[in-house]
Amino acid sequence: MSQKKITRNQKRAIKALLQYPTIDQVAEAIGVNSRTIHRWLNEPGFRLALSQAEGEAIDQVARRLLVLGDKAIDAIEDVLDCPDQEGASNKRLAALCCMLTLTRKAFIGINLFTILNGGG
């Protein structure tokens, strides 16, 4: 069974779904009724296009997190090699450790998303 191509407004909706947290905001951003967005979300072709766009967005985030993770590890090494006397290093180290924890949690979420969408 062939699926019809998505419309230009549906492409705009997909982009908006990746930018806004609510259906109402998405609908307002592209100038349609929120019921239209809900209807599109039930169409297989639209869902497939949205899933592909979400996957691409997640891939971009993963690449950025890898870069940030490397930078955080380098910065942690710098702090450990050259601690200061005023406590700034402790604050920086705590922030960097927090960033690494968030990175790890994000990768767990990315892996779960991939598995649930048949890619794992």
59 and 38 both lie in a single domain: no
Check whether residue 30 and residue 58 sit in a common domain: no
Looking up residue 18, the CATH number of its domain turns out to be 1.10.10
Beta carbons of 72 and 100 less than 8 angstroms apart: yes
Instruction: Count structural domains, the chain.
Output: 2
Q: Are residues 70 and 36 in the same domain?
A: no
Give me 63's structure tokens: 């690449």
The residue among 68 and 46 whose pLDDT is bigger is: 46
Residue the block writes with tokens 């949205």: 50
Instruction: Flag whether the pTM goes above 0.75.
Output: no
The DSSP element (H or E) to which 73 belongs, if any, is helix 44-81
Give the tens place of pLDDT for each residue, 3-40.
578 999 999 999 999 999 999 999 999 999 999 999 99
Domain that holds residue 109: 54-120
Is the distance from CB of 111 to CB of 120 less than 8 angstroms? yes
Residues 77-115 have pLDDT tens digits of 777 777 665 666 777 778 778 878 877 787 787 777 777
